[in-house]
Every structure is written in C-alpha cells, then in structure tokens.
Structure 1
C-alpha cells in the first residue's frame, strides 16, 4: 500500500475530527504524494525492466565452453524430466499391454545376443592374429613392416632361396593365369609371416606378359613386393649344382632343406594335367630333382571319390618347405600343406 492510499484511508476515517486548516492542507498534500508515487513507480518499473534485460542477456550469452546459459537450463529441465521418468515406481508401467512388454523383452534379448556375438568375434580375430602372425601384435604397423623388411633382406643374403619357374606360362589360359597369380600372392603372404623366410625369385617373368598384368590386377602392391623378378631362366641364373627342382614325378624324396641350395617350383597351372612336364625340363638341363616325402610319412585314405594326388599348388608346397625349415618336422609340415581332399593322411592318424 502506497503512502497516498494510507493518507486517504486515514482522512476518511478521521475526517470529522480534522480542523479547517487540516482540511485545506490535506488535498494539496495528497497531490504532491501522488506525483511522488508516480515517480517511484516509474523508477521501480525501469529498474525491473533493466534487471530483466540483464538476466536475458546472461541467459543468451555463451559461457566458457560456448554453450548459452538458457541451453544449460534447458538441459537441466530435460535431465530433471528424465530423472522423474526414471524415478517413477514400477507399478506405473502397468498400463502397457502384455504384448508390448513381450516384444520389448524379445528385442532386449536380440540386442544382448548381438553384443555377445560381436565380443566373441573380436576375441576370435585377436586370437587368430596372435596365432598366425608369429610376431608380437602390440607393436605398431610401422615397426612390423620394418621388421618384415629386415627379415626378408636378411634372407636374401643368408637364407634359402626359392625360384618360381614361370617360363611355361605361354600356353596357359586366362583362368589358369588368374589361379597362378593368386597362388603367388598367397605364397608371398606366407613368406612374410614366417620367422625364417625364404628369398623368392620369379624367373622367366617378363613385364609385358599376360601373367604380369594379371598379378598387377589381382595382387595389391605387387610392384613393391620384396622379391627378385627377372626375365632370365633359372638354369642360367644359378650354378646347376646348387639347383634342386621339386616335382611330384621325381624318384628321390626330399630329406632336408639346405640353405646352400636353390629350390625350384614349376609355376604351372595345367587343368589338363600333363604329366612329367617339370621332370622333363629338369632332366634336359641335368638338374637334380626331388619330391616331397608324402609317401614316406602319409598313407592313402579310403574315401567315396577314391581320389589320391600328390600334385600341390606352389603356395602349398612352399607352406610345407617353410614349416619344415622352422620345425625340422616332416609330419607337422606335411599336415599343414597336404589337405585331406588329396586323399592322404598322416600315418599316426590312421593308427
């Protein structure tokens, strides 16, 4: 209540008791107090409007992290609303139908199963990397690349050599060339993972041949492979007494892998199965031949197809040589390279 309202109430209550001078003086006084009340109300309204404007500016102005105060208050309101929803008693969800609750439980089971499956798959891939890499997986990729490069370059000077004779690819079809390019890729990948790698040389390999184009098309980074590529024939590139041509038609079983020898694999994918092609080529140049000791450590297994073959791809032969060079164990090496589809199993497994 303002001062003027109080005086008016007092005047009305005590009007008859006032003197004539007070009756004359009071109206003028009321006019002055009324003007004072207007000024006070105007200043109060101005002060209140200024405070509101300052408060709005404070809300709209961004803070230290670039978020306005009004947005913070909005987040607080949303958080409070979410908290109130979570704080509701369990009985408040009773309005949902049984069908809705059943679907919700079914969906939660599906999500939990997917999370569990992803976790198991991640652990399986991690275990597989540790098992197949042969190196410590905690190192960086740059360190691993440098380590692989160092091992391969060391094998070039002190390790065993493996030549892939590619001089017989002139009469191969495009499909056979594609299969051979894939075998070269797998062979090189296995050699990179080996703790004691071979130094690989592709002989009789011209850069304008269809096989070279197929290798570039199928094998990423083929031009940067750490191996030797030459157009020369393997028989003119190395001394003949150091060469051993590996062919399944040889009469002599390979007994050991010697670092002083150069082992030759015939780069031939022949779907027509022409026999003794590599053996005849080795005999023409008076080069020693050898076969993998499959007959000495493995036996034929009975199957519905009754199929038995000692002809392996070049990457399978290399896996056997590489495993034996590291383990000095022929049964373990043959088990890795000779699959059951070839019709051979280890003698111990039959017993």
Structure 2
C-alpha cells in the first residue's frame, strides 16, 4: 500500500511507483481502514467524555469544599484549612520521596539492570508522523521502566537526526535517566559484540530466558509490515545473534506478531519481574490483538470473538437498564477497574500528574 506524507516530505515505501499510478485499495484494506477510523472515533469520544467527567467532578468537589467552609465557624474553618495544608504537605513529601527512590533505582540499573537497547537507525525509512509516533513509544518505554522496582538499563542508540529532534521536544527529556547515544549499538558495544542479540519476529531461534549478560536490541521502527525482515537482515549482516519472543507458544495474535516498541519493552520488564512469559504477554498485549489462545486442555478459544460478543451483550443490558431507570448514566460504560483508576483524591482539588509526566526524575 502506498504511504502518503505531508508536502515536501519524503515517502518511504517498499515498492517505488510512478506518480501517475494510482494504487487500488482492496476490499480487505478498505475494511481495515474503516475499522481503524471507527476505533479512532470511539477513542476520541471516550477521551472527551472522560475529560468532561473529570471537569465536573472537580467542580463538584470545589463546591462541596466551599460549602463546608461557608457553614463553618471561624475556629472550625481554621482547623479545616490547617488540616488541608498538612495533608498536602504529607502528599508532597511522599511524592518527593517516591521520586528520589525512582531516580536511585534508575541510576542503579546502570550497574545491575538488564541491558535493553532501542535501535533508532531507521529514521530514513519512516515518515515524520511515524517518527513522532516512535518518539511517543519511547516515552512510554521510559515511563514503564521508571515504575519498575527493578528497572532495566535502557539505551537509545543512533539517537540523532529527526528522531533525536522529536525526542528533544518531549518535556523533561533532557532529565531522563537513560543512556542516549548518537553512535550505533555496534559501535557502542564493539568490544561486546558476542553479547548482542537482536529481538526480531523473523528470527528462527526463540527466546526462552533473559540472560543478564546479554544486550537485547529492539528495532525502533514503526509499521514494520512495510519493511518485513529488515531487522533480521541487519542482524545477519552484522553477524550478531537474533531471537524472537515466544509469543506463538502462548498467544495467537489476531494479526501479525509485530508489536510496538513500548509493548516489547513492557513485555521484557514484566518477564524480568515474574519470569513468566504467559503472564508477561497477557499483561501487556491488548485483548483486541489476541485472536485466540490455547487452553490447558488443548482447545482453542477465540478471545477477540468472545470480547465482541461480551461487548454487544453489555451494551444491550445497559440500554435495557437505562430504559427502566433513567438515573443511570455513563458510569455503566466504565469498568470497575477503570473507575478505580480514574478516581481522584477527594482531599485535593487539583488533578494529579499523569504517569507519563517524567520531567522530574533527577530532582531529589
């Protein structure tokens, strides 16, 4: 499929076509495009609805706080304000302490952590939009790693050019506790070449365990389907080892076995924590990407189909419930887990920072 880009932007494609050739989109491609558009539309609607819910919740808590102060005596008012200040001080102290512990863990990972390299030498094969997407994936990698009790020793190699520029635009990037190298990994680890192992879905060997002495490399490439086999070819040309994650042994993906960069990093981090591949895959890979799984008795269960049926049944139940009781609102569309995650501290009238706000790791 022909990749389009912005004006004056180079286009990376596996097949070069003339300007007059107009590629015909197949029926399956049209269906995929429509599905993607619908998913994006639903995602946008959900985000807007959640933002509005949070705004209303914040306003409600402010009103409740103001009402409490208005109806209180001077003595009670002073007590409430002092209590509020004390709680905020405690929260700030805890956040500062947690921030310091995270920073110390990340610094220690440089000595004892599993080395994981993200290879950023594919910028010339991607559009500006794809490079921007890759930068966001790297942000997610760092956010996931900094939350780990035993983080990996993350490296960015080939970190220059447009991908370097995109990363610099991320707030706080200059304070990240992560190795940033303009050199390629083959140059950076030239005296440890025997330890290098490229993780690629095209490898013949399957990764069974993580070796503390190995340096695992992940290709920083968006839309690998357009460049199938490129990371395997690179590993072969450089004479370094390669292996694929044992995804097929535990999960049957609905499409290809290509995962995003941050998903691969998160899987490795989860495996380092649990030493259980199945647990790592099921914890990280979204349900919508799982086509089927093998049960212990050997049966194959189509997870995606079950998910669709459950969603349809849930929506039907919600519609019926709303017809009987008008007081029920959109809270039915949010799972119990999501509601728990989205609940904010009632003692604070400001929204908490997002987990991906990683601008202050170096502050102690």
TM-score w.r.t. structure 2 length? 0.54
**Aligned positions of 1:258-273 closer than 5 A:** 258-270=211-223, 273=226
Higher relative contact order (Cα pairs below 8 Å, separated by 6+ residues): 2
Partner of 2:240 in structure 1?
287
| Mapped partners of 1:243, 1:291: distance in 2 | 14
Partner of 1:278: 231
For the pair shown, the structure with the greater C-alpha radius of gyration is: 1
Evaluate the alpha carbon distance shift between residue 325 and residue 271 of structure 1 in structure 2; reply closer, same or farther with a 3 A threshold.
closer
The answer for unaligned runs of 5 or more in structure 2 is 1-55, 62-90, 302-364
Asked if 1:236 corresponds to 2:183, the answer is no
Does residue 136 of structure 2 align to residue 182 of structure 1?
yes
Over 3 Å counting, the alpha-carbon distance change for 1:309 and 1:287 in structure 2 is same
Give the superposition deviation at 1:184: 0.4
Alpha-carbon distance, 1:118 to partner: 6.7
The CA deviation at 1:291 is 0.8
- Residues 203, 231 of structure 1: 8 Å contact kept: yes
Residue aligning to 1:336: 283
Count matched residues. Answer: 212
- Alignment correspondent of 2:117: 163
Does residue 1:199 correspond to 2:146, yes or no?
no
Q: How far off its partner does 1:340 sit?
A: 2.9
The equivalent of 2:108 in structure 1 is 154
Match of 1:315 among 249, 256, 262: 262
Query: Unpaired segments of 5 or more residues in structure 1?
Result: 1-113, 120-136, 301-306
Q: 1 CA distance for matches of 2:199 and 2:96? A: 36
* Preserved contact between residue 251 and residue 290 of structure 2 (Cα < 8 Å): no
SS at match of 1:170: helix
Distance in 2 between residues matched to 1:115 and 1:185, nearest whole Å: 29
- The alpha-carbon deviation at position 185 of structure 1 amounts to 0.4
- Deviation for aligned residue 1:115: 7.4
How far is the alpha carbon of 1:339 from its aligned partner?
A: 2.0
Match for residue 175 of structure 2 among 211, 224, 227 = 224
1:1-351 superposed matches below 5 A: 140-206=94-160, 209-217=161-169, 219-238=170-189, 239-270=192-223, 273-299=226-252, 307-348=254-295, 350=300
For residues 321 and 118 of structure 1, the distance between their equivalents in structure 2, rounded to whole angstroms, comes to 42
The structural deviation recorded for 1:235 is 1.4
Distance 2:60 2:274 in 1: 35
More helix by share: 1
Q: CA deviation at 1:270?
A: 2.9
Is the CA contact (8 Å cut-off) linking 2:224 and 2:258 kept in structure 1?
Answer: no
Assess if the C-alpha contact under 8 Å between 1:309 and 1:342 holds in 2.
Answer: no
- Counterpart CA distance in 2 for 1:279 and 1:291 is 10
Q: Give the match's secondary structure for 1:167.
A: coil
Return closer, same or farther for 1:146/1:168 CA change in 2, 3 Å cut-off. Answer: same
- Give the superposition deviation at 1:236: 2.2
Gap change, CA 1:167 and 1:115, over 3 Å in 2: closer
